[in-house]
Amino acid sequence: MARNLYILAGTLLLFALISCGMTFVGSAQTGLPGNGSLWKTTSLFLTLGGLVIALFGVMTAMFEQVDRRAEERRYRERQDERSRKPRR
């Protein structure tokens, strides 16, 4: 799941970079909004969204690793417990 969040965050940051670049494009092109502040605001929100989702991805990866290690520790403890019991 963390991988999907990383991909989403990367996509949002790429769109933020593109919209930041649009502030430097003049309004001479037809069909494009010429308001630079609109592009700056869009870029800001996309950047913040990308960073927040990247943070969620990091936290998800960390919790998955903790869960995986705890499961491995429980498995090892069960194996040690079985090996210590005398067989009848």
In a domain, 28, yes or no: no
With respect to residue 25, please indicate whether it lies within any of the assigned structural domains: no
Would you call 20 exposed, middle or buried from its count of C-beta atoms within 10 A (0-12, 13-18, 19+)?
Answer: middle
pLDDT tens, 41-65? 999 999 999 999 999 999 999 999 9
What is the per-residue pLDDT for 58?
A: 95
For the chain, the straight-line distance linking the first and the last C-alpha, in angstroms and rounded, comes to: 46
Residue 22: per-residue pLDDT: 84
Q: How many CB atoms lie within 10 A of CB 39?
A: 20
Closest CA to 2 of 69, 64, 68: 64
Domain hosting 13: range is: 2-19+40-80
Considering its fold, how many domains does the chain have in total? 1
Residue type, 63: F
Spell out the per-residue pLDDT of the chain, length 88, in tens: 889 999 999 999 999 999 988 887 766 555 666 677 888 899 999 999 999 999 999 999 999 999 999 999 999 999 988 888 766 6
